[in-house]
Amino acid sequence: MNDTTAQARFSFTALANPTRYLSYSGKILPWLGGLSALLLIVGLYMAFTAPEDYQQGITVRIMYVHVPAAWLAMMGYMVMAVSALGTLIWRHPLADVSIKAAAPIGAAFTFLALATGSLWGKPMWGTWWVWDARLTSMFVLFLMYLGVIALQRAMDDPVKAARPVAILVLIGTVNIPIIKFSVDWWNTLHQPAAVFRMDGPTIDPSLLWPLLIMAVGFTALFFFLHMVAMRTEIWRRRIASMRRASAREQRSTARPVLAE
């Protein structure tokens, strides 16, 4: 999670100004996109050449998509939570743009994690879905992403929507530790964490390496998409204010014509 906060703080201070953000992000964007494509290609190749599990057979390869997607689903929410602090404390306009850009991407990764988990669960557990703590809390995370999107869409004015949305995001942060530790706190069907634990990973290096490369590739993909979405949102707001201005401006030139 360290890179998340670093990234967010970076955008708060150095890129405080939307125009400067547009010019910097325009330079970084191709590199980030290339990096994520490269990592994902290498990661997928390694994932398909890694040894199969003696119990699960080929279905274990779902893990290389499922696990990074689940990590990214949580990280996406943390990006939104940090941005929400930026909105509430510093009232920074870019922070609000960042929440708006992150929400659909995070929702997509959550959906990916749920869907791949479901595909994996059918052969392993014999059912598409169980209501255990890990799956339920992930499902709740998905609902929260959709709730944030719904609240944003319900308000016409993005500036007015910023603070309520930020508050909603912060309240939802409670769910993140619940998801993370649900497998330890409750006895669940879902297996416990195998990579991030105090006593080191319990996963064989031949499986761990492709998994890590996929995870970094997914992270790069997330920030690539996030940056593209933020740029789109900034442009969208500029266009909206220009269109508002265009309704006013020409009115004053039209007046004398009417008055004659």
> Pick from 143, 167, 194, 203: which binds other proteins (CB under 8 A)?
143
Picking from 241, 38, 55, the residue whose alpha carbon sits closest to that of residue 159 is 241
Nearer to other proteins, 85 or 149 (CB): 149
Q: Which of 156, 174, 187, 200 binds other proteins (CB under 8 A)?
A: 156
User: Among the candidate windows 27-35, 64-72, 86-94, 152-160, which touches other proteins by CB under 8 A?
Assistant: 152-160
CB atoms within 10 A of CB 51: 9
Closest CA to 220 of 18, 43, 17, 47: 43
**Could you give phi then psi for residue 57, rounded to 5 degrees?**
65, -145
CB-CB contact of 233 with 100 (8 Å): yes
Torsion of CA 198, 203, 206, 208, to 10 degrees: -50
174 is a contact residue toward other proteins (CB under 8 A): no
Residues near 104 by beta carbon (within 8 Å), at least 6 away in sequence? 145, 149, 229
- Across 57-70, b (16+ Cβ under 10 Å) vs e yields eebbbbbbbbbbbb
Tokens of 218: 């997914």
Which CB sits closer to other proteins, 206 or 246?
246
Region near other proteins per CB under 8 A, out of 97-105, 193-201, 210-218, 249-257: 249-257
For the bound state, the minimum distance from the C-beta of residue 88 to other proteins, rounded and expressed in Å, comes to 24
For other proteins, the binding residue among 150, 159, 171, 239 (CB under 8 A) is 150
| Cβ closest to other proteins, residue 105 vs residue 215 | 105
Site mask for other proteins (CB under 8 A), range 102-141, x = bound: ----------------x--------xxxxxx---x--xx-
- Which lies closer to other proteins via its Cβ, residue 7 or residue 59? 59
Q: Which of 143, 131, 144, 153 is nearest to 173 (CA)?
A: 144
Nearer to other proteins, 42 or 143 (CB): 143
Q: Which residues within the stretch 205-244 sit at the binding site for other proteins (CB under 8 A)?
A: 243-244
Judged by CB under 8 A, does residue 27 bind other proteins? no
Helices assigned H by DSSP within 126-204: 133-154, 158-172, 175-185
Q: Interface with other proteins includes 5 (CB under 8 A)?
A: no
Would you tell me which residues interact with other proteins (CB under 8 A)?
A: 118, 127-132, 136, 139-140, 143, 146-147, 149-150, 153-154, 156, 243-244, 246-248, 250-251, 254-255, 257-259
